[in-house]
A and B are shown apart, each in its own frame.
Chain A
Amino acid sequence: MQTRITLSITGIAFALWAVPVLSHHAFSAEFDINSPLSLEGTLARWEMINPHSWFHIDVEGPDGEVVRWRVEGGTPNTLIRNGVTINSVPIGTMLIIEGYQAKDRTNKAVGRNFVLSDGSRLFLGGSANQVAK
């Protein structure tokens, strides 16, 4: 009996996990798996556009020169549905972004994690099942 249940649970795991969150495009084609980076800077602009949002941050280099980076994030639709607006992350917010640089070596990256200056994770999405209202 125990064996039967174990097999059944295994079957469910495979079955239900078979539908992943699908990306709009192949990120590993756009960004370089061999170029991980960590950027620390201030938010200068946030494009809440589809199919992906883009964060523009100003990063100060060792020489004091400020360089603008563009960092790709998720679709804005789910954020808007969860009450997040363009003003939810104010311009000037200090962000630490871990991600991967674009293959063309320009100042573009995908943001793996967005972290605030106090070390907390910038959590934009909803935390619970939405219910109809």
Chain B
Amino acid sequence: MNHVFLNSGCIAAAVISVSLLTAIPVEAQAPDPIDGYTVPRTADGQPDFEGFWTNATRTPLQRPEGVTNEFYTAEEVAATEAREAALETAPTVPGTVADVHYDYSQFGLTYSQSTLATSLRTSLIFDPPDGRIPPMTAAGQRIVAQREAEALLKGGRFASAETNELDDRCIAMGGSGPPMMDAGYNSNYQIVQNRDFIMILTEMIHDVRIIPLDGREQADDKIRQWMGTSRAHWEGDTLVVETANFNGKKPFPFQPDAEVRPTYYGSTENMRVTERFSRVDDETIVYQFTIDDKTMWTRSWSAELPMKKTIGPLFEHACHEGNYGLTNTLVGARLEEQEAAEATAAQKTN
């Protein structure tokens, strides 16, 4: 498998390791460090992952329709990033939904204002080889249909606080995972480790993963959590984290452009996530994950995104404390309903 990343700014491709695409499962493949790189060690002799990292990326999870190559060239990515940087600051059209928002660039929120974990990949998913999430099982399709029906029955996204999305409610966001994905902004992490534990602090919504490294068994499957329960071990210089016991209420991946929200097309409580962290140079951790949920998908699937060193510290994301938006959106929805009811009543009167 190829691991091709771009050093931010210089757009120089670094081909880290190359092997043939075969049927070997991703779990058996650990990326090699760049030639001559010696993985730093902690005082306990473990590979050192401590520091501040970001996984902000423009690379989509799934390979877009019409794109067949696994990788772009460095020149193609550079040209496109320049074009997109210009688009990010382009004015929106007054009176459109896109315009009802603060200007991202005024708050340092565009991708071109952040450290990017750039990759030449055309999709984060590399297995299956087509870069797409595999087909759902029949049971998976029924589950998704049921979720959508239940969301409609409850009145849709703005019917109540409970029907709003998890991020609206400051309960969970995508960055902390597992798997850990670009959250759109604030996609920053701090890793602290000792001999027996590794801690991953996620800036977006301030989740903390404290993962045992001491060889203990997986937690009882009666314990169900938003982020599952994780156990870690070393395979050479690669940190392997296995997570199970999800509560099934935060399906992965999320379908962000669904018309009926909250709507998800992702995993069940049976999902198991295997994450692999491999440090390949001073600036980069290769982060891979494999999703195994036989209830939802016909086969397992795997993705890879780099984590790039960034500046610290992380800042508290006390989401509940300032979440006026939830109240405001619910009030807006009730007023719209009231206005619609009054308009209907007026029509009947006339």
Contacts and interface: CB of A to CB of B under 8 A. Distances in A.
Chain A complexes with chain B = yes
Interface in B90-149: 94-97, 99-116, 122-123
A75 B101 CA distance: 13
Contact of B80 (A13, A47, A77, A128): A13
A91 interface: no
Interface of B: 8-9, 52, 57-60, 63-64, 66-67, 72, 76-77, 79-81, 83-84, 87, 94-97, 99-116, 122-123, 157-158, 164, 167-168, 170, 182-186, 203, 256, 283, 309-311, 314-319, 321-326, 328-329, 331-333, 335-336
Given A25-B325, A81-B108, 4 more contacts: A24-B168, A47-B322, A76-B315, A122-B106
Cβ-closest 9 pairs across A and B: A125-B108, A74-B107, A22-B184, A49-B322, A103-B332, A78-B108, A18-B60, A16-B58, A25-B325
Contact of A78 (B112, B158, B185, B325): B185
B304 to A, nearest CB: 15
A30 to B, nearest CB: 4
B115 A9 contact: no
Given A36-B94, A121-B106, A129-B8, A30 B64 contact: no
User: Mostly helix, strand, loop or mixed at chain B's interface?
Assistant: loop
Interface residues of A, number: 71
A45 interface: no
Contacts of B52: 132
Contacts of B311: 81, 130-133
Interface in A107-125: 108, 110-114, 121-125
Contacts of A79: 107-108
A20 interface: yes
